[in-house]
């Protein structure tokens, strides 16, 4: 049985991915802020047969990540697949952005991924390999007015993915990036996001979940370094 660890698993892309992976026989380690939402999701999925362990961890708090994450991994098989999906967005001009907001966004979109990898990679090395999938955005490759901080965070995540792939290849650890256009998730309802995009034209979380399943099922002898998924109407 393959075990997948999913961050940001309680809603949106994370919850959809948990449902799709459970239906395809993956055991799951699920991480998010809301313990109640995680327990409800686990209760829904356990009848499908997978082993599911959950942990309420706030990735915005750098001091509250690594120890509870290590404990989560110790409760089950260490993950064969790590999906770094959790993240946030912020709209507003760069020079008007408070330093605290900048640090919050970079913590969620970049530093927490580093911390999760720093915890999980040694476990993967001990098992002889693994697969890390980082969920990114086409904002990593483009500049958008009032999305500057988000663009920076995703560009840095793309660089982190490439560097990690180079360092861990000799240990049998592969790194893939899923680069996404706009996805209709609760992110657009966040207090830090102000947008008038047509959400009906966005990708559905289950479309993204299917792409993550495709990446998670890659044979050990290959790696898709970057898979890009965009809405059919174009880039936004």
Task: For residues 18 and 26, give the distance between their C-alpha atoms in angstroms, rounded to a whole number.
Answer: 9
150 has catalytic annotation: yes
208 torsion bin: left (phi>0), alpha (psi -120 to 50), beta (else): alpha
Task: For residues 3 and 173, give the distance between their C-alpha atoms in angstroms, rounded to a whole number.
Answer: 15
Task: For residues 39 and 56, give the distance between their C-alpha atoms in angstroms, rounded to a whole number.
Answer: 10
Q: Which one of the listed residues 149, 150, 165, 209 is annotated catalytic?
A: 150
Task: For residues 26 and 39, give the distance between their C-alpha atoms in angstroms, rounded to a whole number.
Answer: 17
**In three state form, how does the secondary structure of 170-215 look?**
HHCEEEEEEEECCECCHHHHCCCCCCCCCHHHCECHHHHHHHHHHH
* CA triple 56-62-65, angle to 5 deg: 35
Could you report how far apart the first and last alpha carbons of the chain are, in Å? 38
Rounded to a whole number of angstroms, the CA Rg of the chain reads 17
CA 228 to chain centre: 15
Q: Which residues are catalytic, by number?
A: 150
């Amino acid at each position: 049985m393959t075990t997948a660890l999913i961050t940001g698993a309680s809603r949106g892309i994370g919850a959809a991915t948990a449902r799709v992976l459970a239906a395809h026989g993956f055991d799951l380690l699920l991480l998010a802020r809301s313990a109640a939402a995680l327990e409800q999701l686990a209760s829904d999925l356990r009848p499908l047969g997978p082993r599911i362990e959950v942990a309420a961890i706030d990735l915005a708090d750098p001091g509250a990540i690594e120890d509870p994450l290590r404990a989560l991994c110790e409760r089950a098989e260490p993950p064969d697949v790590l999906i770094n999906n959790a993240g946030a967005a912020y709209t507003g001009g760069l020079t008007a952005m408070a330093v605290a907001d900048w640090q919050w966004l970079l913590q969620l979109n970049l530093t927490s991924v580093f911390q999760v990898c720093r915890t999980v990679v040694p476990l993967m090395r001990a098992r002889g390999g693994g697969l890390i999938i980082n969920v990114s955005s086409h904002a990593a490759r483009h500049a958008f007015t009032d999305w500057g901080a988000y663009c920076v965070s995703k560009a840095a995540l793309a660089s982190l993915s490439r560097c990690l792939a180079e360092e861990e290849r000799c240990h049998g650890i592969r790194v893939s990036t899923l680069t996404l256009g706009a996805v209709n998730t609760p992110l657009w309802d966040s207090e830090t996001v102000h947008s008038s995009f047509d959400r009906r034209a966005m990708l559905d979380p289950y479309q993204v979940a299917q792409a993550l399943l495709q990446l998670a099922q890659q044979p050990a002898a290959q790696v898709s370094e970057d898979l890009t998924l965009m809405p059919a109407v174009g880039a936004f």
